[in-house]
Structure formats: C-alpha cells, structure tokens
Structure 1
Amino acid sequence: MAFARGKDAEIYYEVHGRGTPIVLSAGMGGSGSFWAPQLEALATRHQVILYDHVGTGRSAASHRSIAGMADDIACVLDHASVDAAHVVGHAIGGIVGIELALRHPRRLRSLTVVNGWGCADPFLRRCFEIRKQLLNQSGPQAYVRAQPLFLYPPQWISENIAHLDAEEERILRHFPSVATMNQRIDMFLAFEGGKRLAAINVPTLLASAKDDALVPAYLTRELAAAIPDSRVHEVDWGAHAFSVVTPEVFNDTLLDFCKEVDR
C-alpha cells in the first residue's frame, strides 16, 4: 500500500506480484478493489498495480479532467518506478487508458479497454441520465441498490444476491460525494475520441460482452473501427461486469494478450 502524490491529490495504490507491470483502472466506482477477481491470476505472471481514482476510495477528493486522470496513472507509474505497463481499463477506466495512450504513449506496453466507448450515443446517455436521477433524487443508497441491474446478468444477480447485499454495504461506506459522482458521469459522457483515436499506436485489445445492457457491444465495435490495428474480443455472456461474472474467461484472454505483446 502506498500513495503517489499527483496534482492536488494523493493517489492510493497497491502493488502485487512480479513480472511485466499491469495497471488496472476501474470503472465508475473508481476503486481498485473492483479487480479482486483478477488479482491472483494476474499476479502469478505480472506485477499488478491497483489504484483508486482521485475522488474515490482512498484517494483524496479533487476535481479531475480526463487528461488529469490519465496523468494520475503516469504519476502512479513514476512512484512505483515503472517505465511502461500494460494498461487495462473498465468502462470509464478504459477511456482514461485511451487518453493515456494519446498523452503518454511511451508509458504503455499495451492498452486493453473493457466495455468502453469512443463517444457516448443516445442509449448510453439515457442509461446514465436514469442513474443520475436515482442518485440526485433518491440518494446514494438507491443508486447503489440499482447498480447490479446495470452491471450483471439477471440470473447471476439472483444466484449471488447474498454477496451483492454485502457488497452494497461496503460500497456505501466508501461512496464518493454526490457532487463527485455527478462530475464523473458528466465528464465521461462528454468524452469524444473522434479523429484523435487514429493516433493510438500501441497494441490494443477491446473486450466486450454481447449482453452488456449498459454499454452495448456495438460501441466497442465502433471504437475498434477508429483505433488502427486494434482487435476485438467479444464474449456471449457476463454483461457489463463480465470480468467479475466470468473471471476465468477474462483473465485468460488478458494474460494471453499480454504474453503475445511481451514476446
């Protein structure tokens, strides 16, 4: 456990295992704990770096732009004495990875974007509009209570309800401020990679789930069309958080990709 001092903030991070470095960047919740289902498998071959986004988890609250969040990853790498790493981001964490590849390409060995997007479409905007309404009108408890409906397949929710209830209590104890969450949602919906995406020149894997009801798989395909030489890995089942639902599938895919790049 350590803290990297970034611009106007201290960024909490952890390092596990040995080998080629991998940085894991979470989605909307921002906590490195999202990647718990990946940690053991990845740490057998890699130095795994988990961190909490600024304003979430154990990282001090501060206003951030997407560019600032990309710089935060570079700051964590500096503090961990890592020149370049495989960068893996889920959803908005993937957008931060994209921005890092554009701002600091030499800091990446590869880029993996999980259920991400290059530009939010009307469907995605409506989903987040509903989530914001839950947050602002009914409060964090309602927002967190509804969250699994956006993240997981219905049957998986039913079979794991006890775990989700316990997870709900943990999330609420560490939930960011409402203002921070609104700012994060607005910031990532405003992201438009546009023509800049064509400048990404690191090996890129774009992973998605066909049954993702929050960030549809077609947004990943659109992203692939914009990033030169990127590859798409699409799973049939697991929804938005398929790295949690089917961790073995996700872990094997990521390990194989990193192994190929490291050759």
Structure 2
Amino acid sequence: MHSDTPASYGPKNSEMRNTMHYEIHGLTSPNAPTIVLSSGLGGAAKFWQPQLADFTQDYRVITYDQYGTNKSVGELPANYSISDMADELAALLKKLEVQVCHFVGHALGGLVGLQLSLSKPDLLQSLVLVNAWSSPNPHTLRCFDIRKALLAANRKDMYLQLQALLLYPPDWIAANARHLEEEEAHLLNHFPNVDNLLARIAALSAFDIDGELPEIKTPTLAVANKDDTLVPWQRSQTLADAMPNAVLSVMEYGGHASSITVPSAFNKLVLEYLQRLRQRA
C-alpha cells in the first residue's frame, strides 16, 4: 500500500509544503511493531526491496522517497540540512500516527536517524545505523568531491559508474555487470535533479554531531562493512564507542550496500538484533 501526504518542510521553511511519497508494507494494524527504512544519498524507497519479504513477517514496514528525490518531487532550498530531512520524516510519521518505531538508516539515512534521536528521542525504539557516520572524514569527502566534479563536467554516465564502484565489492560488480549496465542506462534516462543532488551532498558533508553522541540513549546497532569503499568502517566504531546504548557489528563482506549485495546475512543481523530488544522489553 502506498500514498502521499503533505508534511511540514522544516523549521527554516515552515511556510513551505511538500508531498512525501511513502509505502506501507506487511502488517496493517497501526498497533503493529513498525520499522521505518531510510535510504542513503539516492533517497529512494525501492532501495529496501531486498528487505521487505523478511521484515514484513513480523513488522509493519514504512519506506519513503526523501524530499527532492524520485516521487517526492520538489526543489531543495539553500542551506538544506540533515535536520530538515529529520523534520520532514517526523512530520510524515506524525501524519501516519506512528507513535514509536524502529529506525533503519543507510549512510545518509543513518544520519537522519541520528538527528531524529536527538530531536525526537521518544519516537525511536531503536536505531540501526548502516555504514553511517557522525562527522565528516577526509576519505569520504574526497569521494564526494569526485562525484561533484563529474556532475560539474556533465558526466552523469561516469557519475553512475563511480556510484557502483563506491557501493559494491569488485567481485559483485563483475558478477552483476549486465544488470548494472541495464540499471545505469535506466538511471541515466531518469537522472535526479542535479541541484537537489548537490544540496543533499552538501548536507551530509556538513553533518557533525560528534559532541552530542553521548546524549543519544536510543538502543543502537551500528553495522559496518570492512570492505566499504566509501565510508571507513571505523566511523561506525566511533558511534558505538560514544553512544551509551550502542553495539557494533562488523561484516567482512558486502561493500557500502550490504543490504543489496548480501541481503540474507544483512536481514538476519538486523532482525536478530530487534528480536533481542523485544525479549528484553
């Protein structure tokens, strides 16, 4: 099931309105335990397709297109921030009458979860942060500088090829070459608004809450991949060390997008963590 809902835009743009596309899968009762899935830079609900069959067995699952991406059409303002993204999601969940939820965020989506845990701590029963971070690091910023340079040169084709290199392990790319070529051809014909993409890159590049991590009491699983090309796995170690109720799980294989490359192992890891929380409750 899916629908659209108006949501308030954010504290700096309170008079603006946007339409957030969302989808609800699995259990339909509003009282069912709920997982909210938040994607990375691409912002697309469909990123989580490999999780739906497993997650919907025991949960109501909400996915959404982040504002300015895919079906959530709109132009992002100057100085757009992760705080704006968190406010937009909080407004959507309020519209859907979600009182509490488990939150799973990948990369930028994890940053949204961290910000929500600071601004709306009562909303989150748990956090799963997948290859996320709490402050900029030189390696990841270099990767995004190259992305920005390709966009400036209007090399969208090369941007998409680089994207695959940053997301997936080399052997997975080799084994899925034809699929990636078809996907990249489709994405090239449906390339996102470049100004919005640059605004989102600027927002994640500026995000820095290192000093606030000890304040986050939400039970948290930080998932990292040792073969992540984009984000050093030690960034997840930083989260687990600084957050009082966080634990770290490091996967040996999967790249930056292990939810796609090794979905069975990823799904098992997340669901077992959520099950342990339910047993403690």
Superposition TM-score tier, normalisation by shorter sequence: over 0.9
Number of residues paired by the alignment?
Answer: 263
Q: How far does residue 104 in structure 1 lie from its aligned partner after superposition?
A: 0.4
* SS in structure 2 of the partner of residue 237 of structure 1: coil
Deviations 1:108-167 (A, max 9, x none): 110111001111111111111111111221332221122111110001001011211222
- Once the two structures are superposed, what CA deviation does each residue of 1:169-189 show, in whole Å capped at 9, x if it has no partner? 333344321111111111111
Is 1:55 the equivalent of 2:71?
no
Which residue pairs with 1:180 in the alignment? 196
Kindly report structure 1 stretches of 4+ aligned residues shifted beyond 3 Å.
none
Is this contact kept in 1: 2:6–2:19, CA < 8 A? yes
Of stretches 1-10 and 148-157 in structure 1, the one that deviates more from structure 2 is 1-10
Q: Spell out the pairing of 1:96-107 with structure 2 (5 A cutoff).
A: 96-107=112-123
Q: Hey, what does 2:154 align to over in structure 1?
A: 138
The match for 1:3 is 4
> SS of the residue aligned with 1:2?
strand
Query: Sequence identity, in percent?
Result: 40
Q: Is the 8 A contact 1:211 1:239 kept in 2?
A: yes
Alpha-carbon shift at residue 223 of structure 1 (Å):
1.8
Question: Which residue pairs with 1:27 in the alignment?
Answer: 40
Contact 2:81/2:204 (8 A) holds in 1: no
Which moves more between the two structures, 67-76 or 134-143? Answer: 134-143
- The answer as to 2:100 corresponding to 1:69 is no
Q: CA separation in 2, counterparts of 1:180 and 1:56?
A: 8
1:81-92 paired onto structure 2 within 5 Å: 81-92=97-108
Task: Give me the whole-angstrom Cα distance separating, in 1, the residues matched to 2:203 and 2:155.
Answer: 20
- For normalisation by structure 1, the TM-score amounts to 0.96
Residue among 41, 46, 67 paired with 2:59 = 46
Matches of 2:91 and 2:192 in 1, distance apart? 22
- 1:4–1:75 contact (8 Å) kept in structure 2: no
- Counterpart position of 1:214: 230
d(CA) in 2 for partners of 1:173, 1:48: 30
Deviations 1:15-62 (A, max 9, x none): 000141000000011101111111111011110101001000100223
Select which of 250, 261, 267 maps to 1:234: 250
Name the structure 2 match of 1:15. Answer: 24
Q: Secondary structure at the match of 1:241?
A: helix
Q: CA RMSD in A?
A: 1.2
Output the amino acid matched with 1:199. E
Q: TM-score, normalised by structure 2?
A: 0.90
Matched AA of 1:16: H
Q: Which moves more between the two structures, 111-120 or 220-229?
A: 220-229
Q: C-alpha separation between the residues in 1 aligned to 2:98 and 2:277?
A: 17
- The answer as to whether partners of 1:84 and 1:109 remain within 8 angstroms in 2 is yes
Question: What code does the residue aligned with 2:22 have?
Answer: Y
Is 1:164 aligned with 2:180? Answer: yes
1:114-129 paired onto structure 2 within 5 Å: 114-129=130-145
- SS of the aligned residue for 1:24 comes to strand
Deviations 1:178-201 (Å, cap 9, x if unpaired)?
111111111111110121111111
Change in Cα spacing, 1:179 to 1:195, as seen in structure 2 (3 Å) is same
- Deviation (angstroms), 1:261: 1.8
Other structure's SS at 1:86 match: strand
- Alignment-mate amino acid for residue 78 of structure 1: K
* More displaced stretch, 148-157 vs 216-225: 216-225
For residue 224 of structure 1, report the CA deviation from its aligned partner.
1.6
